[in-house]
């Protein structure tokens, strides 16, 4: 099938590359000429596992990049709209980009097209997209509007697309539903996973994919409700972690006991410094705004956001607990992206904490496997960037772990202890067992677990200073 994808951001670029790998002829359209030129030149603008491989495999053949939306629409049966929907000051999704695309699509609809919402949008958006296209002169029989929410996690977006938990299609008639089924047929019948050149299937995923057909309104709500629920799980376990710290319990043990219940599950019950990224903060706000417009005060979502924001403050309090005063302190930082596996720093709690420390007069030396270039554009010379965790730790008063990159969970602890000025590690992601850190002579602060003290006299001296204060 010939397919147009509008928008070359995280969702659009991943969707375009994966649709090409399923065998479709895909044109990714963007109005940023520089991005189009860079993509055509072979550049990969985001850090995403397997994406460079797919772009290299299909660029110039099944996958092309263009700035001409009307021409791409006229040559396609399906048009995925994957443009940004940033939050406004009130928390509502800004749908101006979606509206602009809908107006431009209207002039190009000739034969039958299925216009597919791939951006995260509030309920009723599909109805408005249809109205805008009709107002701009399109034949009502020449198109349908479908909602097909994405459930992609940054860092695993390619495998999430190709080996999904479910494919949700919000279709209000059989004709558009049949087009959607044809698009995803290699995933629905399992034939993609059997291909010799298929992207490797992750452990724990099931094939073939489950197809769920709903109304367009239900599909739109499914996306917001899913992200809000996952954000709630994170805030819930962080709230539990606060109780654990007060009574001396271990949140990891709580997590294991609670997560073993099949009705709850352990995924997203990971205590830390809070969620971030381009989805959860925005989607929780947007869902709350949608509910408010519909006459329901969804106060639970306010609490989810409050707990999440408070986690950064609580982590900064741990840093003060470990070091007493912060001005003039040298701190090594591991992790700047909002999560491991991506270079995305949007709404990153790690970056927010770093900026707070800099504002308090700390000298921050930071390392991140992928996000340093993006952070440097934001922080300039206020943060020193280095090439390894070892360099970040060297001479620092403490080491802070802020992002759950896999490589940060396997550090040489003896070397780390020797490189730090004081053997203090403050872990916002609970990557280590406290008893192991103590055995290696490290004072270790984590989330929802008791602090363990190193036997090292310099660390005890710092701790005694804090206790005296």
Q: Output the CA torsion 129→131→137→143 (10° steps).
A: 60
Beta bridge partners of 445: 426
CA distances from 308 to 133, 190, 348, 410 (A): 39, 39, 12, 27
Beta bridge partners of 367: 334
Length of the chain, in residues: 469
- Give the pair of three-digit tokens for residue 440: 């290696």
How would you classify the pairing of strands 78-81 and 113-117? parallel
Residue with tokens 């005063």: 325
Sign (positive or negative) of CA dihedral 123, 125, 126, 131: positive
How would you classify the pairing of strands 2-6 and 25-29? parallel
Catalytically annotated residue among 18, 244, 279, 362: 279
φ, ψ of residue 278 to 5 degrees: the values are: -85, -10
Q: How far apart are CA 94 and CA 100, in angstroms?
A: 12
Q: Which residues, 6+ apart, have CB-to-CB distance to 31 below 8 Å? A: 67, 69
Q: Which residues, 6+ apart, have CB-to-CB distance to 235 below 8 Å? A: 274, 275, 303, 304, 305, 307, 308
Q: How far apart are CA 420 and CA 428, in angstroms?
A: 18
Q: Please indicate whether residue 244 is annotated as part of the active site.
A: no
Active site residues: 279
């Amino acid at each position: 099938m010939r397919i147009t994808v509008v928008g070359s951001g995280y969702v659009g670029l991943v969707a375009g590359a994966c649709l090409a790998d399923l065998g479709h002829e895909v044109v990714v359209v963007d109005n940023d000429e520089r991005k189009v030129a860079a993509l055509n030149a072979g550049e990969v603008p985001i850090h995403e596992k397997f994406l460079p491989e797919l772009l290299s495999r299909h660029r110039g053949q099944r996958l092309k990049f263009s700035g001409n939306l009307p021409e791409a629409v006229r040559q396609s049966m399906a048009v995925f709209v994957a443009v940004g929907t940033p939050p406004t000051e009130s928390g509502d999704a800004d749908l101006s980009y979606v509206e602009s695309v809908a107006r431009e699509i209207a002039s190009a609809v000739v034969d039958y097209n299925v216009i597919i919402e791939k951006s995260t949008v509030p309920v009723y958006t599909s109805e408005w997209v249809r109205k805008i296209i009709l107002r701009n002169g399109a034949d009502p029989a020449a198109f349908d509007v479908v909602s097909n929410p994405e459930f992609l996690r940054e860092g695993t977006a390619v495998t999430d697309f190709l080996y999904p938990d479910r494919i949700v299609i919000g279709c209000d008639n059989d004709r558009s539903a049949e087009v959607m089924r044809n698009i995803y047929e290699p995933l629905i019948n399992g034939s993609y996973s059997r291909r010799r050149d298929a992207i490797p299937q992750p452990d724990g995923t099931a094939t073939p994919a489950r197809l769920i057909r709903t109304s367009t309104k239900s599909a739109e709500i499914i996306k917001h409700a899913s992200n809000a629920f996952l954000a709630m799980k994170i805030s819930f376990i962080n709230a539990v972690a606060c109780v654990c710290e007060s009574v001396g319990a271990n949140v990891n043990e709580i997590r294991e006991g609670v997560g073993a219940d099949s009705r709850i599950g352990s995924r997203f019950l990971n205590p830390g410094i809070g969620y971030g990224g381009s989805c959860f903060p925005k989607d929780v706000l947007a869902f709350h705004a949608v509910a408010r417009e519909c006459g329901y005060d969804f106060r639970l979502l306010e609490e989810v956001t409050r707990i999440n924001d408070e986690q950064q403050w609580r982590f900064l309090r741990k840093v003060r607990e470990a070091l007493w005063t912060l001005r003039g302190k040298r701190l090594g930082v591991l992790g700047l992206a909002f999560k491991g596996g991506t270079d995305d720093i949007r709404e990153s709690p790690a970056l927010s904490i770093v900026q707070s420390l800099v504002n308090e007069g700390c000298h921050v030396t930071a390392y991140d496997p992928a996000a340093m270039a993006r952070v440097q554009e934001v922080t300039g010379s206020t943060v020193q960037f280095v090439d390894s965790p070892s360099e970040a730790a060297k001479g620092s008063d403490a080491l802070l772990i802020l992002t759950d990159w896999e490589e940060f969970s396997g550090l040489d602890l003896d070397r780390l202890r020797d490189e730090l000025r004081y053997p203090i590690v403050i872990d916002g992601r609970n990557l280590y067992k406290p008893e192991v850190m103590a055995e290696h002579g490290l004072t270790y602060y984590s989330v929802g677990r008791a602090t363990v003290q190193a036997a090292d006299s310099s660390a005890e001296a710092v701790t005694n200073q804090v206790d005296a204060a």
